[in-house]
Structure 1
Amino acid sequence: MGSLQLKSIRKAFGGHEVLKGIDLEVKDGEFVIFVGPSGCGKSTLLRTIAGLEDATSGSVRIDGDEVGHVAPAKRGIAMVFQSYALYPHLTVKDNMGLGLKQAGVPRAEIDEKIAKAAGMLSLEPYLARRPAELSGGQRQRVAIGRAIVREPKLFLFDEPLSNLDAALRVNTRLEIARLHRSLKATMIYVTHDQVEAMTLADKIVVLSAGRIEQVGSPMELYNRPANLFVAGFIGSPQMNFIEGERFGDSSAKTVGIRPEHIGLSREGGDWTGKVVHVEHLGADTIVYLETEKVGPLTVRLFGEHRYDPDEIVHATPVIGAMHRFDADGRVLGSGSRGGLPADA
């Protein structure tokens, strides 16, 4: 079991309030990811769950038990940090088993748990090596293995892939996903990388300035953002935002349209614009436009397309994919696309 309940969590450092009333429930076995910009409070929230920070007020419950006054080591959690925090003089095997050894677990049981974790993480060939003899990805796997052998109620990950290069990030991300399916454990993961969030999470928690903006599955947040902040934060390239008046919508302060929901043509379309810049990514082509009617636009085309800077082109949005927001940034109306009917 590894459920988590947070009720009215507030955290202040002096006169600065970092967490401003967090309510959240994580079910047993869920993979939940906290995302948000730097300074939004996601790492502070994770540390509060772990007991490394004390909440100024509010309740933290693990499996229904209040743990606000329980020491971190007694909460049944294991944490994987951005830094590997491995002991350089110990072998991989000894690094993985150190916590169990200090807890007085019998040697045979420690060896059994290390062997099981090493098998899951493909670390068997490296058990006798020291951290300096490993790659960055291998070191992070050792840190994850050290958490696995403890068999915690909750796994907490604090930006564990930040120090890895792009290829290792992808490989380690796949290993973490496979690990979650294998262990069926509850995992809470902090990242600023929305690709990690979209590809790993069962449920994403979007934070901004110490508050939860929206909670939902990756595609719920992508297709039905609750407000302007979530709409702009989730998705790459970022959603286009157009003033409602410029778009001809008097009831919406802002209209949003994702780059992939805009078509581009040389023959004609709704908005005429000049190409500012083109990014050729192989699988995608990203075209940046400046239009007189609705302002700057980003268009994502699938596959390779040839457009040149200063070329005049015509853009046409998919009307049924529009998102509409009021003056406070909240989504307007109901429906699958920011208030538009499902068949719009």
Structure 2
Amino acid sequence: MGNIVLRNVHKAFGATTIIPKIDLDIADGEFVVFVGPSGCGKSTLLRLIAGLEDTTGGTILIDGRDVTAEAPAKRKLAMVFQSYALYPHMTVAKNIAFPLKMAGETPEAIDRKVKDAARVLNLTNYLERRPGQLSGGQRQRVAIGRAIVRQPSAFLFDEPLSNLDAALRGTMRLEISELHNQLKTTMVYVTHDQVEAMTMADKIVVLNAGNIEQVGSPLELYRSPRNLFVAGFIGSPRMNLLEGAPAARYGAKTVGIRPEHIGVSTTAGEWKATVSVAEHLGADTFLHVNADGVGALTVRAGGEVGLGHGATVYLTPDLSKLHKFGDDGKALQ
């Protein structure tokens, strides 16, 4: 079981509030991602759950048990950090086995659990190597293996992929998602990368200045952002947000339209625009344009669109996908 419940949890350092009072429910077996910009409080919130930070107030329940005042070791959670924190003089097998040895398990049980974890993580052929002989992705898998053998109620990941290059991050995203599907264990994952959040999560918690802006599935946040912050944060490239005359025309303070919801033509459309930069990425082309009477926009077009700097295009927004926001920044129904 790995049900985690937060009630009125808050954290302050002196007179500075980092996490205002928040409530959150994480169901057993969910993959939940905390996402937000640097300094939004996502890592602090994870550390409160782990017990690495004391709460200023509120209650944390794990499987119905109040753990607010309990030490981290008693919460039955396993944390994987941004730094691998491996012992360089130990083999992979000994690194994975270390928490079991500290818990006093028998050599037979340790050997079995280490081999099981290694098989799940494709590390069987590397058990006798040392961390210095492994790639970054392999070292991260060893760190995850060390967490797996503890058979925790939930895994807590604190930006585990930020030290890896872009290609390896993509591979590790898939591996962690597949691991979750195999283990069916609750995972709480912190990242500033909304692409990681969108591709991995069952449920995303969007944080801003310690506040929970919105909780929902990736598609819920993409289709129905609750406010301007979520609208601008979720989605890559980010949503186009327009004020002034273009917004007033649709009865809103601000309107938003995603790059993929704007049609592109070289002959006719609602907005005439000039291409300033074209990013050709293979499957997609992202056009950064200046539209007459509208301003700067990013538009997603086909990968083989032969447009470049200075080209004239005509744009037509899909009005069924238009997002409207009021003076308070909240979505209008």
The whole-number CA distance in structure 2 between the counterparts of 1:277 and 1:97 is 53
TM-score by length of 1: 0.95
Aligned to 1:306: 306
Aligned to 1:39: 39
The whole-number CA distance in structure 2 between the counterparts of 1:55 and 1:17 is 11
Aligned to 1:61: 61
Aligned to 2:117: 117
Aligned to 1:15: 15
Aligned to 1:274: 274
For the Cα contact (< 8 Å) 1:244–1:251, is it kept in 2? no
Q: What pairs with 1:89-168 in structure 2 (closer than 5 Å)?
A: 89-168=89-168
Aligned to 2:322: 322
For the Cα contact (< 8 Å) 1:244–1:252, is it kept in 2? no
The whole-number CA distance in structure 2 between the counterparts of 1:56 and 1:307 is 56
Aligned to 1:185: 185
Moved more, 15-24 or 136-145: 15-24
For the Cα contact (< 8 Å) 1:206–1:213, is it kept in 2? yes
Amino acid at match of 1:234: I
Q: Post-superposition shift, 1:235? A: 0.4
The whole-number CA distance in structure 1 between the counterparts of 2:72 and 2:162 is 24
1:215 and 2:215 aligned:
yes
Q: What pairs with 1:256-267 in structure 2 (closer than 5 Å)?
A: 256-267=256-267
The whole-number CA distance in structure 2 between the counterparts of 1:10 and 1:328 is 25
For the Cα contact (< 8 Å) 2:205–2:215, is it kept in 1? yes
For the Cα contact (< 8 Å) 1:244–1:250, is it kept in 2? no
Moved more, 239-248 or 74-83: 239-248
Q: Any unmatched runs of 5+ in structure 1? A: 334-344
The secondary structure found in structure 2 opposite 1:207 is strand
- C-alpha distance after superposition, 1:112-159 (max 9, x if no partner): 111110000000011011111111110000000000000000100000
Q: Post-superposition shift, 1:292? A: 2.5
- C-alpha distance after superposition, 1:146-205 (max 9, x if no partner): 000000001000000011111211111111111101100000000011111111100000
Aligned to 1:340: none
Q: Post-superposition shift, 1:255? A: 0.5
The secondary structure found in structure 1 opposite 2:68 is coil
- C-alpha distance after superposition, 1:80-128 (max 9, x if no partner): 0000000011111111011110111111111111111000000001101
Q: Post-superposition shift, 1:248? A: 4.2
**Cα RMSD, aligned residues only:** 0.9
The secondary structure found in structure 2 opposite 1:28 is coil
The whole-number CA distance in structure 2 between the counterparts of 1:239 and 1:250 is 17
The whole-number CA distance in structure 2 between the counterparts of 1:146 and 1:189 is 17
Q: Post-superposition shift, 1:251? A: 2.8
The secondary structure found in structure 2 opposite 1:296 is strand
For the Cα contact (< 8 Å) 1:205–1:216, is it kept in 2? yes
Moved more, 168-177 or 146-155: 168-177
Q: Post-superposition shift, 1:209? A: 0.4
Q: Post-superposition shift, 1:250? A: 5.8
The whole-number CA distance in structure 1 between the counterparts of 2:166 and 2:318 is 33
The secondary structure found in structure 2 opposite 1:328 is coil
- C-alpha distance after superposition, 1:4-55 (max 9, x if no partner): 0001111111221110112100000000000000000000000000000001
Aligned to 1:288: 288
For the Cα contact (< 8 Å) 1:2–1:27, is it kept in 2? yes
The secondary structure found in structure 2 opposite 1:10 is strand
Q: Post-superposition shift, 1:215? A: 0.3
The number of residues matched between the two structures is 333
Aligned to 1:342: none
Q: Post-superposition shift, 1:253? A: 0.4
Amino acid at match of 2:168: L
Aligned to 1:224: 224
Aligned to 2:197: 197
For the Cα contact (< 8 Å) 2:247–2:253, is it kept in 1? no
> Structure 1's 247 and 254: CA in aligned 2 closer, same or farther, altered over 3 A?
closer
Amino acid at match of 2:127: L
